[in-house]
């Protein structure tokens, strides 16, 4: 019985550590995929019905995040920025040729195992970039 108490506690600690590590990898992977999908949608200049270009991109990111960015403190961490292709400076224009950056910055992921919780949660960041494609007419409203 004593052997199981000593061996079992170490086994379960490692088991929960593996679950936590897998949970963190899942969140990181889901956020990376979601930002890539947001860029893929955004560079085409499309918008969802009744939404601006930036709001449409954020909606696509949330839809492709496998639920990670729909709740909690991560939904408001989605950033959409446009950069000048020559200087790299942030610009307000989503015109053709500009660089679109979609990022999720500062998404906190807490551990599953209560006894392994650090003083602060793990922070997950991801970003993707792409060049705005040619689209007919004027750029969509940001």
Q: What is the pLDDT of residue 118?
A: 62
Q: What is the pLDDT of residue 57?
A: 97
Q: What is the pLDDT of residue 7?
A: 87
What φ, ψ does residue 132 adopt, rounded to 5°?
-65, 130
**Tokens of residue 49, six digits:** 């019905």
Q: What is the pLDDT of residue 123?
A: 87
Q: What is the pLDDT of residue 119?
A: 62
Q: What is the pLDDT of residue 140?
A: 86
Q: What is the pLDDT of residue 117?
A: 60
Q: What is the pLDDT of residue 8?
A: 87
What is the distance between the alpha carbons of residues 29 and 66, in angstroms, rounded to a whole number?
A: 10
Closest to 142 (Cα-Cα) out of 70, 56, 31, 23: 56
Closest to 23 (Cα-Cα) out of 106, 108, 127, 119: 108
CB 137 within 8 A of CB 50: no
Q: What is the pLDDT of residue 98?
A: 95
What is the distance between the alpha carbons of residues 123 and 106, in angstroms, rounded to a whole number?
A: 6
Exposed/middle/buried for 132, CB within 10 Å: 0-12, 13-18, 19+?
buried
Query: Angle at which helices 53-63 and 2-42 pack, to 10 degrees?
Result: 150
What is the distance between the alpha carbons of residues 127 and 41, in angstroms, rounded to a whole number?
A: 14
Q: For the chain, which residues make up each domain, given as ranges?
A: 2-131
Task: Count CB atoms within 10 A of the CB of residue 13.
Answer: 13
- pLDDT tens sequence for the chain (142 residues): 778 888 888 888 888 888 888 888 999 999 999 999 999 999 999 899 999 999 999 999 999 999 888 766 688 899 999 999 999 999 999 999 999 999 999 988 877 766 666 666 788 999 999 999 987 778 888 8
What is the distance between the alpha carbons of residues 125 and 135, in angstroms, rounded to a whole number?
A: 30
Q: What is the pLDDT of residue 38?
A: 97
């Amino acid at each position: 019985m004593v052997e199981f108490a000593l061996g079992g506690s170490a086994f379960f600690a490692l088991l929960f550590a593996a679950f936590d590590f897998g949970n963190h990898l899942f969140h990181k992977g889901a956020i990376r995929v979601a930002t890539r999908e947001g860029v893929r949608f955004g560079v085409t200049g499309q918008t969802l019905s009744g939404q601006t270009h930036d709001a449409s991109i954020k909606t696509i990111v949330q839809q492709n995040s496998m639920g990670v960015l729909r709740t909690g403190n991560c939904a408001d961490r989605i950033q959409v920025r446009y950069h000048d292709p020559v200087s790299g400076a942030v610009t307000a224009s989503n015109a053709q040729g500009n660089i679109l950056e979609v990022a999720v910055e500062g998404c906190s992921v807490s551990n599953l195992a209560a006894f392994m919780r650090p003083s602060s949660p793990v922070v997950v960041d991801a970003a993707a970039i792409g060049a705005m494609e040619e689209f007919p007419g004027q750029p969509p409203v940001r």
